[in-house]
């Protein structure tokens, strides 16, 4: 996977080393108003990232494409992801710290 550059962001392929920076982003209580809970620890988040570094689901049926979104000031804003199924259909999602919401970053990425 390659690093992708947009006008305002750099999308870095997500790896275990991003866990510490992303833990702070994912602990923003505002992004959990309606669903889920923050990761329990940096270590658990790192383990999940390590699993996804293969870029493929355990059964091999899906491609997992995950990027960390870094703003031009080098701050990590959140992540974007695409799950590509065998059929070629894709599911796209993103999650950003609340301070970066409603700025069009997800659409840009």
Residue 25 CB neighbour total at 10 angstroms: 23
Q: What is the pTM of this model?
A: 0.88
Q: What is the pLDDT of residues 33-80, one digit of tens each?
A: 766 778 889 999 999 999 999 999 999 999 999 999 999 999 999 999
State the pairing for strand pair 9-13/76-85: unpaired
Q: 3 φ, ψ to 5°?
A: -75, 140
In the chain the domains, ranked by start, together with CATH numbers, are: 4-108 (3.40.630.30)
- For the stretch 1-25, pLDDT in tens is 799 999 999 999 999 999 999 999 9
Q: What is the pLDDT of residue 54?
A: 94
> What is the edge-to-edge ordering of all strands in the sheet holding 9-13?
4-5, 9-13, 62-71, 76-85, 90-96
Tokens 């305002």 found at: 8
CA separation for the pair 38, 13 (Å, rounded): 21
Q: Where are the beta strands (DSSP E) in the chain?
A: 4-5, 9-13, 62-71, 76-85, 90-96
């Amino acid at each position: 996977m390659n690093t992708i550059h947009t006008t305002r962001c750099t999308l870095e392929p997500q790896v275990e080393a991003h866990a510490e920076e992303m833990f702070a982003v994912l602990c923003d209580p505002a992004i959990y108003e309606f669903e889920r809970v923050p990761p329990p620890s940096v270590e658990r988040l790192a383990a999940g990232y390590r699993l996804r570094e293969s870029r493929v689901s355990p059964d091999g049926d899906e491609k997992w494409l995950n990027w960390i979104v870094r703003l031009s000031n080098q701050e990590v804003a959140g992540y974007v992801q695409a799950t590509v199924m065998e059929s070629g259909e894709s599911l796209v999602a993103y999650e950003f710290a609340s301070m970066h919401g409603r700025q069009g970053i997800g659409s840009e990425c």
